[in-house]
């Protein structure tokens, strides 16, 4: 991974994912929880400490970034956010997982999302940030809208969720330059 970057918001610290701090059974349990991953392709995989370690290793030697999202007041690891970065095209594809159910609905996802988009489109020197989600993922649809992303395409009936075809809705935000 490129030089580590820590991002701070009013209520959160987004720090580069640290295996010794963040790779825990609690984290793996998020990925095993059907409610947490109901809109994620992670729902099709079996997760373990080893599989998560392999995922994190994928960020070690490239430009992409993986941050652990921590609540500043108590350091609680509540989720992760990552940016798959394509430097040649100035693109980043961002995804987020708020795994700690006890903090759902408190705006932490949007706060972390905006911090990452602002960094990518500023000091991160990215020209376009993209993200996509299933149309029925209303929480993520709200995050994309509230973060000033604009429609960037739809893949009709792209995934199956509970046996029902789901559109994937893509959004984008561009740098001001």
Q: pTM of the entire structure?
A: 0.94
Per-residue pLDDT tens over the stretch 113-137: 999 999 999 999 999 999 999 999 9
Domains of the chain: 7-130 (3.40.630.30)
Q: Where are the beta strands (DSSP E) in 6-76?
A: 7-8, 12-16, 65-71
19 vs 78: CA distance, rounded Å: 15
How many Cα neighbours within 13 Å face the side chain of 84? 8
pLDDT tens digits, one per residue of 4-36:
899 999 999 999 999 999 999 999 999 999 998
Three-state DSSP state, 55:
helix
Residue 3 pLDDT? 78
Q: Work out whether strand 91-98 and strand 128-134 pair parallel, antiparallel, or are unpaired.
A: parallel
Give the pairing of strands 128-134 and 164-174.
antiparallel
Say if residue 95's pLDDT is above 60: yes
């Amino acid at each position: 991974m490129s030089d580590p970057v820590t991002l701070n918001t009013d209520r959160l610290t987004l720090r580069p994912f640290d295996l010794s701090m963040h790779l825990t059974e609690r984290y793996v349990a998020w990925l095993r929880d059907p409610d947490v991953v109901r809109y994620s392709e992670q729902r099709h995989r079996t997760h373990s400490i080893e599989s998560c370690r392999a995922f994190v290793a994928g960020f070690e030697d490239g430009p992409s970034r993986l941050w652990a999202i921590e609540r500043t007041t108590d350091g609680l690891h509540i989720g992760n956010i990552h940016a798959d970065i394509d430097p040649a095209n100035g693109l980043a594809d961002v995804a987020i997982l708020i795994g700690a159910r006890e903090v759902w609905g408190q705006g932490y996802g949007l706060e972390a999302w905006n911090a990452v988009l602002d960094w990518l489109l500023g000091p991160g020197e990215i020209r376009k940030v993209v993200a996509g989600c299933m149309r029925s993922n209303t929480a993520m649809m709200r995050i994309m809208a509230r973060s000033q992303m604009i429609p960037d395409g739809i893949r009709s009936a792209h995934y199956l969720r509970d046996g029902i075809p789901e559109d994937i809705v893509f959004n984008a935000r561009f740098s001001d330059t």
